């Protein structure tokens, strides 16, 4: 990255560490001070592994855009054992025999979980309940009832069946809880179950194959070179390249009209999305949102501004 403290870093999180552990490790490796901002987009549970997008410096301003992207997971469901956390870290709440069932039956049942589905987030999750994180209340023994919500599962394919275990590949929209999906599928199959393993393979356009393993973060001398700059952190978002004169005005707080922006861009490349990046050379200036002003003219709202 031109400025190594602004952008994102792809990390392959190991099992047993929290997402915050990874953030602390990156911060230590890059020798950033206490006031330096660093975060991540999309928490991975401690038992889970895979792609964690670490946000560096002004990269933290990209959080909601990064988290909204499509995710892909490899998950193993273990039938016959239920836990309060819906995963291997919790207390066992039920054990049942797993009957014989055909692979065709399993695949047909799993197909019901494609598309728009309703699910309830796990009680042990970061969802807020009465102003507090649900998992904190649950750990104190407080009864927590979370609301059902709609999520989108683009594809759910069965990779292998070796009962009592079923391995699945899942593509879904942000906000989908794989633990809840696995528990619901296990109940539909009869004996119930828990999510045994979970690995995030992809987040948006970024793939775990391009990530540094979290175990190597503290020792890799090329860590800074692996960072992705702000201008390349949202490759799927439309962008408008500004000339230096207008770019400098934007840096000083000027908010151009939509017509001013369009006149600087290639008219043969129509913008498709509501969110648009404003760039100048190798720098990301802002993320804006275009909207209908109600009078037939497009208006501009600045969502994030970068220094």
Are 79 and 197 within one domain?
Answer: yes
Confidence of residue 298 (pLDDT cuts 50, 70, 90): low
**Domain identity same for 136 and 215:** no
What's the pTM? Answer: 0.89
| 107 and 52 co-located in one domain | no
Residue range 14-27: mean pLDDT, rounded:
94
What is the rounded distance in angstroms from the CA atom of residue 256 to the CA atom of residue 4? 29
CB distance 122 to 177 below 8 Å: yes
Mean pLDDT value of segment 19-23: 94
> What pLDDT score does 266 carry?
52
- Is 243 a member of any domain? yes
256 located within any domain: yes
> What pLDDT, in 10s, does the model give residues 39-62?
999 889 999 999 999 999 999 999
Is 45 among the residues known to form the active site? Answer: yes
Residue with the bigger pLDDT between 36 and 70: it is 70
**Given this model, what pLDDT does residue 295 score?**
58
Indicate which CATH number applies to the domain containing 100: 3.30.2350.10
As a whole number of angstroms, the distance between CA 233 and CA 213 comes to 19
C-alpha to C-alpha distances, 235 to 61, 71, 96, 209, 277, nearest whole angstrom: 16, 16, 47, 18, 10
Q: Contact, 145 vs 130, CB < 8 A?
A: no
Same domain, 75 and 48: no
Residue 184 sits in the same domain as residue 118:
yes
Q: Is the pLDDT of residue 1 over 90?
A: no
> What mean pLDDT do residues 63-92 have?
94
Whether the pLDDT of residue 220 is over 90: the answer is no
Q: Are residues 160 and 87 part of one domain?
A: yes
| Res 296: pLDDT | 56
Pairing of strands 238-241, 275-280: parallel
160 in a structural domain: yes
Task: For residues 61 and 156, state if they share a domain.
Answer: no
- From 5, 12, 21, 45, the catalytic residue: 45
Q: Are residues 140 and 117 in the same domain?
A: yes
pLDDT score recorded for residue 264: 56
- Same-domain pairing of 63 and 75: no
- The answer to whether position 2 is within a domain reads no
pLDDT of residue 26: 92
Examine the fold and report which residue of 201, 216, 248 is the final residue of a domain before the chain moves on: 201
Of the two residues 36 and 83, the one the predictor is more confident about is 83
Mean pLDDT, the chain, rounded, equals 88
Q: Is residue 289 part of a domain?
A: yes
pLDDT tens-digit map of 103-153: 999 999 999 999 999 998 888 777 777 677 777 777 877 777 788 899 999
pLDDT over 60 (residue 77): yes
What is the predicted pLDDT for the residue at 268?
46
Q: Does residue 209 share a domain with residue 194? A: no
Give pLDDT, residue 135. 72
Query: What residues make up the domain containing 243?
Result: 238-305
Asked, for residue 244, whether it belongs to a domain, the answer is yes
Q: Residue 269 maps to which CATH number?
A: 2.30.130
Query: Does residue 1 sit within a domain?
Result: no
Into how many domains does the chain fold?
3
The model's pLDDT over 264-293, given as tens digits with 9 standing for 90+, comes to 555 544 455 578 999 998 899 999 987 766
Residues 46, 62, single domain; the answer is yes
Pair (247, 291) in one structural domain? yes
The phi-psi region of residue 23 (left if phi > 0; otherwise alpha if psi is between -120 and 50; otherwise beta) is alpha
CA–CA distance, 100 with 102 (Å, rounded to integer): 7
């Amino acid at each position: 990255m031109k400025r190594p403290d602004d952008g994102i870093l792809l990390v392959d999180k190991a099992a047993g560490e929290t997402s915050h552990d990874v953030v602390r490790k990156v911060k230590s490796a890059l020798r950033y001070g206490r006031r330096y901002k660093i975060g991540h987009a999309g928490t991975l549970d401690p038992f889970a592994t895979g792609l964690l997008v670490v946000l560096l410096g002004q990269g933290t301003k990209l959080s909601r855009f990064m988290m909204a992207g499509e995710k892909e997971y490899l998950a193993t469901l273990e039938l016959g054992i239920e836990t309060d956390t819906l995963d291997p870290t919790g207390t066992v709440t039920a054990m049942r025999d797993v009957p014989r069932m055909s692979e065709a039956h399993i695949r047909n049942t799993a197909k019901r979980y494609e598309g728009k589905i309703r699910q309830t987030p796990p009680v042990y999750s970061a969802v807020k309940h009465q102003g507090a994180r649900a998992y904190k209340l649950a750990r104190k023994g407080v009864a927590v009832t979370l609301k059902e919500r709609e999520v989108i599962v683009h594809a759910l394919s069965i990779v292998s069946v070796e009962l009592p275990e079923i391995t699945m590949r899942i593509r879904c929209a942000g906000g989908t809880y794989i633990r809840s999906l696995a528990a619901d599928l296990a109940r539909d199959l009869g004996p119930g179950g828990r999510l045994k393993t979970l690995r995030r393979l992809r987040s948006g356009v970024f793939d775990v194959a391009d990530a540094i393993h979290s175990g190597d973060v503290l020792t890799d001398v090329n860590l800074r070179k692996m960072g992705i700059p702000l201008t390349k952190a949202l490759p799927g978002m439309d962008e408008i390249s500004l000339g230096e004169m207008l770019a400098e005005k934007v840096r000083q707080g000027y908010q151009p009209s939509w017509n001013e922006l369009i006149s600087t861009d290639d008219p043969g490349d129509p913008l498709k999305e509501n969110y648009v990046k404003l760039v100048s050379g190798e720098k990301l200036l802002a993320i804006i949102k275009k909207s209908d002003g109600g009078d037939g003219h497009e208006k501009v709202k600045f969502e994030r501004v970068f220094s």
